[in-house]
């Protein structure tokens, strides 16, 4: 008897909640089936972890069924393309980042999607500054030293980056332009391969996400000389920004956000925005996302636009090849 | 003695009931996913990552590591039984292991793989324990020039891999090189041979190539035979290796372990390179190299030992330097970071129970894997008794599912089918797939490091001979070339003399 009673109560509760949220929502009953969250990178990377945090929270706190689908390929292009062509009914979300929405149009001539026309931004979820690091035995101790060394030997300094056309690469090119110096770009396949060369001093300096260099900086193998955000990074309060090192306004960040295919009904976007925002406010999520950047659709769209313009001019002036 | 007391601390951590359980869960899952192609340790660890947040860091690391090296054991099973490498690194095992299975020696082949993996696992874990930090520092010395010279040595060595026609082998290496450079070029960022297909920008995946070339092509060949020939012999010999087998695999296992430990400690090299090198070395040392490719038991023992040794020493750069040697290692570092532990050189001193607990758990895990795998040998071997008409659709299905699940991409399945057709054509032309795989694996690394070394030296080739480690590799390469050319020359001269005498 007891079991029946509790089941009946549970059923009633479900019906009641469903009724309430149905009344509150213009799109009655959303979501009434599983939502897929496209992660355009393989399992395990930073983007994937972000995607899993969001899907996990939406599923456990709201009882939604959010399924992560890793559709990796071509630096995210394959996954973004799949999202762009999905039905705009609120059941397909995608985690997009700077390179997909703001850089890709400038470097890929055959980009199969249009970052502005094909997507509606929902919410920015994280923003990660880059670090400029050198080997601990390097004579370079500040951005001033770096510029002086580059000026003394034009083209001789070796600038390591985790890959061509990454935010880190463009940040290095951007700095060349702003500081009026010249160094040689050495691209690697990710940070893992670049670290030994930077630690041992074979490469002069390295631009990469803060996370990828934190361990070595703590262990005294690398020295951080600057971060690329406008404000100092909370993880590294002692490391100056490039902006405060004499280049005001210099900013290069990798951001991540949730987007949906263009044409998704506005009430659904608003609901998703509200729920994702709640996810980001959860204390355990806040703790894990060090560089939280919680802004809604309008500001997110503005960021996509301003970063697009910035990186397009860097790509053009640095003569980075368009494929 | 310091190491011994540290190990004692480690075993204290690893042998608690809780950690033993996680270790078992890890290696068991690893074995399972190793058997399935496509579903590799990377995907599994990524999916389990959220679960591990609730565990304490040591337990989660022990479990995740178990999945990783457990997969090296499991990967050989399908490679041997049905010519389908479950893991990247077991492609080499397939060459001779599958032939052994066809001759009714699936049992000894599987047992050899398990035993070789076990021996390698134990020895290389000892290396990690005693020399980890030292080796870690040494690995930092490897830059683009060193990697290039090492790869060049490997490629020259691979001329040994050829059995049969040398020209055909070279042609296959070139086809492999070409397949390998499909996709976005690391140095310039430009796409090559991608024909405007977005899915090709990342190149042709290893699973696609290995499964297509080995498993799919083999099925097509078997089905093409019109006469009624059983693929597997019905007469299954003993399940366990004989005493003669054990003697035959002892040295290859030890040599494979040495090579695997070396390559595993270098962050810039994949485990498949270790397996290939071990195989090539055995073939070079064998009294009768023609047995290789036709079911030589050394051809199973050496690469399996190399695989597993590399899987253990892969932890050296990860744990002692905080440098991820592969995507799986990057994931483990991520898991640690999420637990609030900053991986890196200081972990060994600040959290000794973590480092030594993991090292001790590797010993435990390797014993568990042996206990898990040996009894299964009989069961697996019976799979070869399944009529082929039931077996091949199942193999094809797993091949398709595995390839699809890598990127959730149908393109990979089509590509695998296309490579399968290519593999069939190669088989008809009597061209071996092994040199192709080698070119495919080494080619892109060789090119990338050559160009990076020259970029960093401003175009000066001197960098390859002024850096001592690089110079050493080049000298060894020259020696190998001489050792190969001189006998040929002498034989040529003798033949000329004989002909002169006769005439």
Q: How far from B298 is each of B262, B285, B374, B384, CA to CA, in Å?
A: 20, 11, 18, 21
CB spacing of B333 vs A215 below 8 angstroms: yes
Query: Residue B356 and residue B42: Cα distance in Å, rounded?
Result: 24
pLDDT in tens, A20-51: 444 344 456 788 889 999 999 877 677 888 88
Q: CB B198 to CB A73 under 8 A?
A: yes
Give the one of A69, A73, A216 whose C-beta lies nearest to B322's C-beta: A216
Residue B126 has pLDDT above 60, yes or no: yes
Residue B241: band (very low, low, confident or very high) from pLDDT cuts 50, 70, 90: confident
Of A209-218, A275-284, B162-171, B348-357, least confident by mean pLDDT is: B162-171
Q: What six digits make up the tokens of B2? A: 């310091």
Residue of A52, A75, A186, A192 for testing the chain B interface, max B β-carbons within 10 Å: A192
Query: Is the omega angle on the peptide bond into residue A31 within 30 degrees of 0, that is, cis?
Result: yes
Confidence check: pLDDT of B317 > 90? no
Contacts of B323 in chain A (CB under 8 A): 192, 195-196, 216
B256-295 pLDDT, tens digit per residue, is 999 999 888 887 677 778 888 898 888 878 888 888 888 8
Contact between chains at A44 and B46 (C-beta distance less than 8 A): yes
Are the beta carbons of A192 and B267 separated by less than 8 Å? yes
Q: Which residues contact A52 (CB under 8 A, 6 or more apart)?
A: A39, A68, B49, B50
When pLDDT is cut at 50, 70 and 90, the band that residue B384 belongs to is confident
Task: Report CA torsion sign: A101, A105, A106, A111.
Answer: positive
| CA atoms within a 13 Å half-sphere pointing along the CA-CB vector of B305 | 31
Q: How far apart are CA B274 and CA B210, in angstroms?
A: 16
Residue numbers in B near A73 (CB within 8 A): 198-199, 201-202, 407, 409
For residue B90, what is the DSSP state? G
Residue pair A185/A168 in contact (Cβ under 8 Å)? The answer is no
The pair of structure tokens assigned to B191 is 């796409």
Distance of alpha carbon B173 from alpha carbon B189, whole angstroms: 24
Q: Do B345 and A219 touch (CB under 8 A)?
A: yes
**Which ipTM was obtained for this model?**
0.79
**Domains by residue range for chain A, with CATH:** 2-127+253-318 (3.40.190.150), 129-245 (3.40.190.10)
Report how far residue B148's alpha carbon sits from residue B266's, in angstroms, rounded to the nearest whole number.
13
- The two tokens of residue B490 are 């002498």
Q: What is the pTM of this model?
A: 0.80
> What does the block give as tokens for B265?
């400690």
Give the Å distances, CA to CA, from A27 to A85, A89, A259, A268, B153: 22, 10, 18, 7, 65
Q: Best residue in B408, B445, B450, B468 to probe A by mutation, most A CBs within 10 Å?
A: B408
Q: Which residue has the higher pLDDT, A11 or B65?
A: B65
Closest Cα in chain B to A163: B186
DSSP per position, B385-440:
GS-HHHHHHHHHHHHHHHHHHHHT-HHHHHHHHHHHHHHHHHHHTT--HHHHHHHH
How many whole angstroms separate alpha carbon A320 and alpha carbon A306? 19
On whether any CB of chain A is under 8 Å from the CB of B471, the answer is no
Contact call for A196 and B323, based on CB within 8 A:
yes
CB pairs under 8 A between A and B: 145
Q: Do residues A259 and A121 lie in contact, with contact meaning Cβ atoms separated by under 8 Å?
A: yes
pLDDT at position A15: 44
Q: What is the band of B234 on the pLDDT scale with cuts at 50, 70, 90?
A: low
Put simply, the answer to whether B323 touches A288 (Cβ < 8 Å) is no
By the 10 Å C-beta count (0-12 exposed, 13-18 middle, 19+ buried), B369 is classed as: buried
Residues A215, B327: C-beta atoms closer than 8 Å:
no
């Amino acid at each position: 008897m007891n079991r029946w009673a509790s089941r009946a109560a549970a059923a009633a509760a479900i019906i009641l909640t469903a009724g309430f949220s149905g009344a509150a929502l213009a799109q009655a009953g959303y979501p009434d089936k599983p939502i897929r969250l496209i992660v355009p990178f393989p399992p395990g990377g930073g983007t994937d972890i972000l995607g899993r945090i969001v899907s996990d929270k939406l599923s456990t706190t709201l009882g939604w069924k959010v399924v992560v689908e890793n559709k990796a390929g071509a630096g995210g292009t394959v996954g973004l393309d799949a999202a762009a062509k999905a039905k705009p009914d609120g059941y397909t979300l995608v985690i997009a980042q700077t390179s997909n929405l703001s850089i890709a149009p400038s470097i890929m001539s055959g980009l199969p999607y249009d970052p502005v026309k094909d997507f509606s931004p929902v919410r920015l979820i994280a923003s990660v500054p880059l670090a400029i690091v050198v080997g601990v035995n390097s004579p370079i101790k500040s951005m001033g030293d770096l510029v002086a060394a580059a000026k003394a030997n034009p083209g001789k300094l070796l600038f390591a980056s985790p890959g061509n056309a990454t935010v880190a690469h463009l940040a290095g090119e951007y700095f060349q332009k702003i500081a009026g110096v010249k160094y040689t770009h050495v691209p690697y396949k990710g940070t893992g391969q670049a670290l030994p060369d930077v630690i041992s001093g074979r490469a002069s300096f390295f631009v990469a996400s803060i996370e990828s260099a934190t361990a070595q900086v703590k262990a005294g193998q690398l020295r951080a000389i600057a971060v690329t955000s406008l404000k100092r990074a909370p993880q590294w309060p002692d490391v100056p920004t490039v902006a405060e090192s004499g280049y005001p306004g210099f900013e290069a960040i990798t951001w991540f956000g949730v987007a949906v295919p263009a044409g998704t009904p506005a009430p659904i976007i608003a609901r998703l925005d509200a729920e994702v925002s709640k996810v980001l406010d959860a204390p355990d999520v806040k703790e894990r996302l060090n560089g939280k950047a919680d802004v809604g659709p309008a500001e997110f769209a503005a960021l996509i636009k301003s970063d697009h313009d910035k990186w397009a001019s860097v790509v053009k002036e640095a003569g980075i090849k368009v494929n | 003695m310091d190491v011994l007391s540290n190990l004692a601390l480690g075993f204290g951590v690893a042998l608690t009931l809780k950690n033993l359980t996680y270790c078992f869960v890890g290696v068991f899952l690893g074995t399972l996913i190793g058997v399935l192609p496509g579903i590799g340790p990377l995907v599994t660890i990524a999916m389990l990552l959220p679960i591990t947040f609730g565990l304490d860091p040591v337990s989660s690391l022990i479990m995740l590591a178990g999945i990783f090296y457990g997969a090296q054991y499991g990967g050989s099973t399908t490679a041997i039984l049905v010519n389908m490498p479950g893991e990247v690194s077991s492609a080499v095992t397939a060459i001779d292991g599958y032939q052994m299975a066809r001759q009714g020696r699936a049992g000894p082949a599987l047992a050899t793989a398990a035993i070789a993996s076990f021996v390698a696992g134990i020895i290389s874990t000892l290396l990690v324990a005693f020399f980890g930090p030292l080796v870690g520092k040494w690995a930092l010395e490897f830059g683009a020039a060193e990697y290039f010279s090492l790869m060049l040595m490997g490629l020259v060595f691979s001329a040994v891999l050829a059995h049969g026609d040398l020209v055909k082998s070279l042609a296959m290496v070139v086809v492999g090189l070409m397949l390998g450079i499909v996709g976005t070029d690391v140095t310039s960022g430009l796409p090559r041979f991608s024909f405007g297909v977005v899915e090709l920008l990342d190149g042709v995946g290893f699973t696609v190539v290995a499964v297509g070339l080995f498993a799919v092509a083999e099925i097509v060949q078997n089905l093409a035979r019109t006469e009624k020939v059983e693929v597997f012999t019905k007469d299954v010999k003993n399940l366990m290796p004989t005493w003669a087998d054990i003697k035959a695999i002892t040295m290859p296992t030890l040599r494979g372990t040495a090579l695997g430990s070396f390559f595993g400690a270098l962050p810039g090299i994949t485990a498949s390179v270790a397996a290939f090198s071990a195989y090539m070395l055995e073939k070079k040392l064998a009294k009768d190299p023609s047995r290789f490719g036709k079911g030589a038991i050394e051809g199973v023992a050496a690469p399996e030992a190399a695989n597993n040794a590399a899987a253990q020493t892969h932890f050296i750069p990860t744990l002692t330097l905080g440098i991820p040697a592969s995507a799986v290692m990057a994931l483990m570092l991520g898991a640690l970071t999420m637990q609030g532990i900053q991986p890196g050189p200081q972990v060994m001193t600040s959290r000794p129970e973590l480092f030594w607990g993991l090292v001790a758990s590797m010993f435990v895990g390797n014993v568990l894997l042996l206990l898990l795998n040996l009894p299964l040998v009989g069961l697996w071997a019976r799979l070869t008794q399944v009529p082929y008409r039931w077996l091949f659709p199942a193999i094809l299905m797993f091949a398709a599912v595995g390839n699809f699940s890598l990127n959730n991409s149908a393109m990979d399945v089509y590509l695998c089918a296309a490579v399968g057709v290519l593999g069939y054509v190669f088989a008809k032309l009597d061209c071996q797939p092994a040199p192709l795989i080698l070119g495919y694996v080494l080619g892109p690394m060789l090119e990338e490091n050559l160009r990076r070394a020259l970029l960093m030296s401003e175009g000066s080739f001197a960098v390859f001979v002024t850096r001592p480690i690089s110079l050493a590799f080049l000298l060894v390469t020259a020696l190998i070339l001489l050792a190969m050319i001189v006998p040929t020359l002498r034989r040529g001269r003798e033949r000329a003399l004989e002909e002169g005498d006769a005439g």
